[in-house]
Amino acid sequence: MTRSFSKKQELRTLALLAGPIFISQFSQAAYSFIDTLMAGQVSALDLAAVAVGSSIWLPLYLLITGTLLATTALVGEAKGADKPERIADITHQALWLALLVGIAGLLLIRNAWPLFDWLQVPLELRLKTRAYLDGVSWGMPAVGLFFVLRCYCEAQGRPVPVMLISVSGLLLNVLANQLFIYGSADIAGLSWLGIPAMGGPGCGWATALVLWLLTLVLFAYVLCASAFARVRLFQRWAPPHFAELRHIAALGLPIGLAIFFEVSSFALVAILISPSGEIVVAGHQVALSVTSILFMVPLSLSIALTIRVSQLYGAQDLDAIAHTRRVGLVTTTLIACLSALFLLLARDGIAAGYTQDADVRALAADLMLFAVAYQVFDALQVGAAGCLRGLQDTRSPMLLTLFAYWVVAIPFGFVAGSTDTFFGQAWGPHGYWTGLVIGLGIAALLLNRQLGRRMLQLRSQPEFSTKHSLSKE
C-alpha cells in the first residue's frame, strides 16, 4: 500500500524552518542594504564606494558561508540517523575550518588593491573603497564562526534563536553605522569614544564590530541551551582532524564555489562598469541591493530544503524526499511570481527610497525590469540546489553553475554591454543584466535536470530501494 503524504504538513514544516531562516538571512543581507542606504545619504561617491567594496567582500562572504553550509547537510544527516555524538564531531571540525577560511578571507580582502589598478577605478573612488574594505576585513573570521554555529542550530530544527540574534545584529548595525559615519562627537554622550567621522567607509568598521558581537552571543547561547543537551558540544573539544576537515571541505567547497560563481557574476558587473562613472555604478548597486533582498526568500526555502532533505537522507526515506522536493519547488516558484509582481509595480518608489539623484533612480528602476524577468529562474535553480545539497551532491551543481554564469552569462554580458561587435552598439549595464537573465535560465534548467537524475540514482541503490519497497507494503 502506498503511503500518503500531506502537502499541507510538509509546507508547514518547511515554513517553520524557512520563516526564521528568512529573517536571519534578511537581517544579514540587509547589512549591505543599510550600508548602501546610509552611505547614499552622505554622497553619491560614498554610495559608489560602498557599492564597489560590497562587490568585493560579499562574494567572498558567500564563498566562506557557502563552503561551511556543508555543516547543515552533515549535521542534518546525523540528526536524521539519530547520532548526537557525530553532530559534535562534525561541528568541532567545521569550527576549525571556519577559523581557517575566515583568516584567509581577511588576508584576501586586505590585499585586493591590485584589482583597482587593473580595472582603472578612479582614484577618489578607489581610496574610499579601500578604507571601507579595511574595516570589513576584520569581521571575516567572525563570519565563519557564526555561520557554523548557525548551521548547527538550524540543522537540528532550532532556527528561532539565530533569528533573534540576527535581528538584534541588524539594529546594532544601524546604530554602529551612525556612530562610524558621523563620528562619536556627533552623538550626545558618546564623544569620549573618540571615533572620527569616516563617512561611507565607516560602514565597514561598523559591520566588523557587529559580526564579532553576534558571534560571541551565539557561542553563549549554544553553550547554555538545554535543547542541545544530548549533543554535549562543549563537553570535550576535538583538535583538528585532517581527514574530517578534508571531508567537510570537499563537500562544502563546491557549494561555496557554486554560490560564488552566481553572486560574483552579479558583483563583477559593478566592477566592470565602474569606469563608466559613479552614476552607473550607483544605479546598478541600488538594483542589485533590492534584488538581493528579494532573493532571500527562495534562498531561505533552499536552506530549509537542505535541512529537510538531509534529515530524510539520513533516515533513507526516498519517498519523503521526493514529496519534500515537489512541495518545495512549487512553493519557491509561487513566491517568485509574487516577488516579480511586487518589483514590477514598486520599482520606481523603491529606487527613490535609496537616493535623491534622479539619474541614479531612473537607471535603477530600469535595471529592476531585468530582475522581474529572472525571478522564477532564480527560485527554481536555488530550490534544486538546496535539494542537491541535502543529498550531498555538491560537485555537479558547482560545475553547472560555473557553465551557466561564467561561460554563458558573463561573456554574453561583456559582448553586449561593452562592445559593438554583434549588436551594433554597446548596451551598457543593460547588456550585462541581459546576460545574467540568460545565465539564470540555463542554471535553472540544468540544476533541475541534475536533481531528477540524482533521485533516479538513489532509487537504484540497495539501501534506498529497500526502504522504498518497504514503504509501499
3-state secondary structure 429-440: HHHHHHHHHHHH
Phi and psi at 407, nearest 5°, equal -95, -30
* 131: in domain: yes
* 401: in domain: yes
Classify 357 in phi/psi space as left (phi over 0), alpha (psi -120 to 50) or beta: beta
* 1: in domain: no
Reading the block at residue 441, the C-alpha cell is 535560465
* 445: in domain: yes
Specify the DSSP element, H or E, that contains 471.
none
330 C-beta neighbours (distance < 10 Å), count:
13
Sign of the C-alpha dihedral computed for residues 173, 174, 175 and 176 taken in this order = positive
Nearest CA to 53 among 132, 119, 124?
Answer: 132
For residues 184 and 194, the answer to whether their CB atoms sit within 8 Å is yes
Matching residue, cell 545574467 = 436
Helices (H), 225-277: 242-272
For residues 69 and 216, the answer to whether their CB atoms sit within 8 Å is no
Number of independent structural domains in the chain:
1
Q: Is 70 exposed, middle or buried (0-12, 13-18, 19+ CB in 10 A)?
A: buried
Reading the block at residue 191, the C-alpha cell is 564623544
Phi and psi at 330, nearest 5°, equal -65, -40
For residues 210 and 28, the answer to whether their CB atoms sit within 8 Å is no
* 294: in domain: yes
Q: How far apart are CA 299 and CA 293, in angstroms?
A: 10
Residues of the chain below pLDDT 70: 1-5, 119, 184-194, 266-267, 276, 424, 463-473
The distance of Cα 447 from the centroid of its chain, to the nearest Å, equals 18
109 three-class SS: helix
For residues 58 and 263, the answer to whether their CB atoms sit within 8 Å is yes
Q: Does the model's pTM come out above 0.95?
A: no
Residue 249, C-beta contacts closer than 8 angstroms, at least 6 positions apart: 67, 70, 97
Q: What is the largest CA-CA distance in the chain?
A: 74
Reading the block at residue 344, the C-alpha cell is 514590477
- What angle is formed at CA 148 by the lines to CA 106 and CA 393, rounded to 5 degrees? 105
Please give the span between the terminal C-alpha atoms of the chain, in angstroms, as a whole number.
5
For residues 355 and 44, the answer to whether their CB atoms sit within 8 Å is yes
Q: Looking at residue 472, what is its pLDDT?
A: 45
Q: How far apart are CA 440 and CA 455, in angstroms?
A: 23
For residues 280 and 363, the answer to whether their CB atoms sit within 8 Å is yes
212 C-beta neighbours (distance < 10 Å), count:
16
53 three-class SS: helix
* 2: in domain: no
- Its domain, for residue 158, covers 7-470
Matching residue, cell 557554523 = 148
Q: How far apart are CA 367 and CA 350, in angstroms?
A: 12
Phi and psi at 429, nearest 5°, equal -60, -25
For residues 456 and 393, the answer to whether their CB atoms sit within 8 Å is no
- Amino acid at site 129: T
407 C-beta neighbours (distance < 10 Å), count:
12
Nearest CA to 249 among 148, 178, 323?
Answer: 148
